[in-house]
Chains A and B, each alone.
Chain A
Amino acid sequence: MAVAAGRPTERQQPENPLTAGLERQPVPPTSMVIFGATGDLARRKLLPAIYNLAHDGALPERFYLVGVARKEKDHEDYRRECEEAIDRFSRRKPDPDVLKALLENVRYVPGTFDEASVYETLGGQLGAFEKEAGEPLNRAFYLSTAPEFFPVIVDKLGESKLAHDEHAEVRLIVEKPFGTSLEEARELNRKILSVFEETQVYRIDHYLGKETVQNLLALRFANGMFEPLWNRNYIDYVQITAAEDIGIGTRAEYYDKAGALRDLIQNHMMQLLCQVAMEPPVNFNAEEVRNEKVKVLEAIPAPTADEVGEMAVRGQYGPGHSGGDDVVGYLEEEGVPNDSNTETYAALRLEVDNWRWAGVPFYLRTGKRLARKVTEIAVTLKPVPHLAFSQEGSLGVQPNQLVLTVQPNEGVSLRIGAKIPGTRMIIRPVNMEFLYGTSFLSQSPEAYERLLTDVMRGDPTLFTRNDEVEGQWRICDPIVKKWEATPGPLPKYEAGSQGPAEAEALLRSGDSWRAI
């Protein structure tokens, strides 16, 4: 492109002295392309996130957006749809002037994802943006489509020479699910990496964009008091819970194919486990952090088919009560086959076989229609070696437990033993509570605002690398396969309950599930 000829690259230039001290660092000029631009994710999350970045003045100086989807419509129609989606789903009421300024640079390209003409039009549009801007623009292609279109779009981007640009960065953002099995994940990685370099690929796990999840690393590595205890010598077991009180709603088509293990454990919960178990990285750059997470995944043995029954439990909710209302069971939900064997609850017991964690069980559980909505990590310490206090007349001395709540009410709670006021030395457990919300003035940005900014800035720290995805699948795949091969009916649990009683069997003697 003429405007870019002879222009130096990032590496050839000294640092920009004007960025020192700025909270909001410059974001390179970018054209973003959303494939699946009229879908739910784009409407509910991506467009509102982009608007909120615009509202905060956090978009690049030059930002253009192209929506690509099958439906025939013109630019103006699409802008109107964007406006409606932003108005409905934005976390703040849109400012009409800001919205207008944003929408001026929005275009729409209709067509099916396998049509070469779509990519020709797209390439022409991206070129027109660069001409208008007078400078090369980075490109971010967001795959917000059904997963079966990922390989098609990647292929076409490659064929149409849109996957690389001599003068600008080209990035590919891939939404979950990243495959439904290890084999599929590997195949998808092979396909993507045949067209793009790994450094161009940003696999979204939106959990990693949540402030609360990032706080986990701050808690561990910015405080001296936890790390000395953070090992097998002091920690008895770790429990990670992602419980929801709602059912599947209108997501039957997706959920019945996915199930609880693929929906939450294979990605989000494995990431939480990695953050709890990883070694301190040398620094917080993307490669160092992701290297440490991969080491954790490599230390978790994948179960054999015979071992699955001992380390994994599944269940399906039946009718029950939620929020004071009668609710139907999973098989009665709209769109769910009445003989479905899809699990709505999954619990695992995993071991991390390394020097730090050998012998410490990591319990993971997730489910729909459980007693309440909570995502938390509970770290239970070993009991004190000798009890000098009477246990009589009290709840007794219980092991310390550190609970990191991800949502709702993000915070940290430490269970400690304290003396009950009175003449006798009787101990009962009490909680020291810290709530993040009480200590900061700022509002956390939506996960997608953070993640989209990171993509445009080229920071992949909060995205999943290919070996991480495959590492997660290596552990979960045998369980998926065993469950698929084992006919139902599945263990049932009442909606609004703690989950199936069978989950108790996963626990070591003396361990217990925390009440949801």
Chain B
Amino acid sequence: MARTDSLWSEQGTTPDAIEAALRQLLIEAHAEREEVVPARVLNMIVFVDLDWTGEIANRLRGVGRYHASRLVVLAYEPKRERLDARVSVSTDDPAAPGEVALLRETVVVELGDKHLDDLATITDPLVVTDLPTLLWSPHGHPEIIDELLPLAQAVLVDSVEEPDYEEALERAAALSERAYVVDLAWLRSTPWRERVAAMFDPPWLRPELRLFSSVTVRHHPASTVAAGLLVGWLASRLDWKPARLIPAGGELSGKAHASRQDVAVRLQTAPELHVPGLQGLTIETAAGHRLRLDRGPGGLRARFSAPREGDREWTIPGASRGETGVLGEGIRQALLRDPTYLPALEDARTLLA
């Protein structure tokens, strides 16, 4: 549980005053408790409607050790005339004797329409120079992302939150040309990608990777993008030529062309799934192998069948990360680079065009 050590606030303030207050709070915190030192990992800028500030704060509190070292929340209230700010520095759990405690800094700036033209000049002084910066606007406001993107190296998006999946993918592709995109929809597919890669990794199963004949992905009704990205990943890694999927009978279906055969692709909604992301997937190969993975208690439930061998069913252990875990992973990914996302995104755009 984070413990708030120092607080500062001012109404009608300026970026210089906020930055000076931050410096002072850090000095005071260290003077008071020698073992506390500022974390220096990542800046995170969050643009959020003022009414939603509490909800976003709760989500970010849940990410625990993945909390950015400096969080700058730009809380937007259209008619606000005055710039108000609150600054807090807090530590994680108390340090063990002889060890250091990390200080994390949170700045909340309340601003209005009149400040939007100069948003970059308000925000720039508040981020730690030379640290990577992650930008997130969880409730839309694409124009704000465009405005602040020059300050950031990475931008956090959640393509499943967009009402139109085609637009979501177009937007992610456009952003990718200007910054590294961390897409939570992509990260929701990570355990599934890891499992599929591992299931077909044994030498005697690796040739089957070239023989996939059908892929069915079951997803939360609002998570078509996550399913599309998973198939896009398979297509880009296995050199398939994807084609546009057609809606029919409550699912999207179509074909991708692999070098040896066509691959039937189906994206099916799973209304029973109550959280964003994927419910399961089934892969069949031309040689008669069939793999089905589904969410289950304690991990993914696997069913595997091979020609002339019976069905096998077992649980691959793994704890669910939950939505806060996915968000935390998204923040961590801002410091890494995944070379497979963009090719997967490109193929997903074709599939979901």
- When distances are taken between beta carbons in the complex, the residues of chain B under 8 Å from A61 are 195, 198-199, 302, 316
Rounded to whole Å, the gap between the CB of A24 and the closest CB of chain B is: 5
- When distances are taken between beta carbons in the complex, the residues of chain B under 8 Å from A28 are 201-202
- When distances are taken between beta carbons in the complex, the residues of chain B under 8 Å from A3 are 309
Contact A57 B316, CB 8 Å, known A101-B299, A441-B42 = yes
Q: How many residues of A contact B (CB 8 A)?
A: 55
Contact A57 B194, CB 8 Å, known A21-B340, A409-B98, A438-B37 = yes
Per-residue CB proximity of A1-27 to B under 8 Å, as 1/0?
001000111101110111111111011
Tell yes or no: A104 within 8 A of B by CB.
yes
Tell yes or no: B193 within 8 A of A by CB.
yes
Give Cα A177 to B323, complex, Å. 45
Per-residue CB proximity of B195-223 to A under 8 Å, as 1/0?
11111111110110100000000000000
Tell yes or no: B114 within 8 A of A by CB.
no
Contact A19 B102, CB 8 Å, known A7-B203, A438-B41, A441-B332 = no
- Among A18, A102, A104, the most chain B Cβ lie within 10 Å of the Cβ of A18
- When distances are taken between beta carbons in the complex, the residues of chain A under 8 Å from B315 are 101, 104
- Chain B residue at minimum C-beta to C-beta distance from A133: B312
A22 touches B317 (CB 8 A): no
- When distances are taken between beta carbons in the complex, the residues of chain B under 8 Å from A155 are none
A57 touches B318 (CB 8 A): yes
Q: Is the interface of A mostly helix, strand, loop or mixed?
A: loop
Tell yes or no: A29 within 8 A of B by CB.
yes
A440 touches B41 (CB 8 A): yes
Tell yes or no: A232 within 8 A of B by CB.
no
Tell yes or no: A250 within 8 A of B by CB.
no
Tell yes or no: A510 within 8 A of B by CB.
no
Contact A14 B206, CB 8 Å, known A98-B298, A133-B312, A441-B66 = yes
- Chain A residue at minimum C-beta to C-beta distance from B310: A134
- When distances are taken between beta carbons in the complex, the residues of chain B under 8 Å from A337 are none
Contact A55 B318, CB 8 Å, known A20-B237, A22-B197, A60-B198 = yes
Contact A408 B96, CB 8 Å, known A18-B200, A61-B198 = yes
Task: Identify which of B66, B98, B298, B340 contacts A97 (C-beta below 8 A).
Answer: B298
Rounded to whole Å, the gap between the CB of B227 and the closest CB of chain A is: 17
Task: Identify which of A7, A100, A435 contacts B298 (C-beta below 8 A).
Answer: A100
- When distances are taken between beta carbons in the complex, the residues of chain A under 8 Å from B299 are 54, 57, 97-98, 101
Per-residue CB proximity of A434-449 to B under 8 Å, as 1/0?
0101111111000000
- When distances are taken between beta carbons in the complex, the residues of chain B under 8 Å from A442 are 65, 332
Rounded to whole Å, the gap between the CB of A57 and the closest CB of chain B is: 3
Tell yes or no: B297 within 8 A of A by CB.
yes
B318 touches A438 (CB 8 A): no
Tell yes or no: A183 within 8 A of B by CB.
no
Tell yes or no: A415 within 8 A of B by CB.
no
A10 touches B203 (CB 8 A): yes
A16 touches B209 (CB 8 A): yes
Tell yes or no: A292 within 8 A of B by CB.
no
Tell yes or no: B99 within 8 A of A by CB.
yes
- When distances are taken between beta carbons in the complex, the residues of chain A under 8 Å from B203 are 7-10, 12-13
Rounded to whole Å, the gap between the CB of B115 and the closest CB of chain A is: 30
Give Cα A23 to B198, complex, Å. 12
Tell yes or no: A372 within 8 A of B by CB.
yes
Give Cα A95 to B299, complex, Å. 11
Per-residue CB proximity of A65-98 to B under 8 Å, as 1/0?
0000000000000000000000000000001111
- Chain A residue at minimum C-beta to C-beta distance from B239: A17
A408 touches B99 (CB 8 A): yes
Give Cα A420 to B323, complex, Å. 52
Give Cα A21 to B237, complex, Å. 10
A98 touches B306 (CB 8 A): no
Other contacts beyond A10-B203, A13-B206, A28-B202: 6, CB < 8 A: A13-B203, A20-B340, A134-B312, A135-B204, A438-B40, A439-B41
Interface residues, chain A, with chain B CB atoms under 8 Å away: 3, 7-10, 12-14, 16-24, 26-29, 54-57, 59-63, 95-102, 104, 132-135, 372-373, 408-409, 435, 437-443
Closest 8 CB pairs of A and B: A57-B318, A97-B298, A21-B340, A101-B298, A18-B197, A26-B198, A7-B204, A54-B317
Sample (9) of A-B pairs whose CB atoms are under 8 Å apart: A7-B204, A8-B203, A18-B201, A18-B238, A23-B336, A54-B318, A57-B317, A408-B98, A437-B100
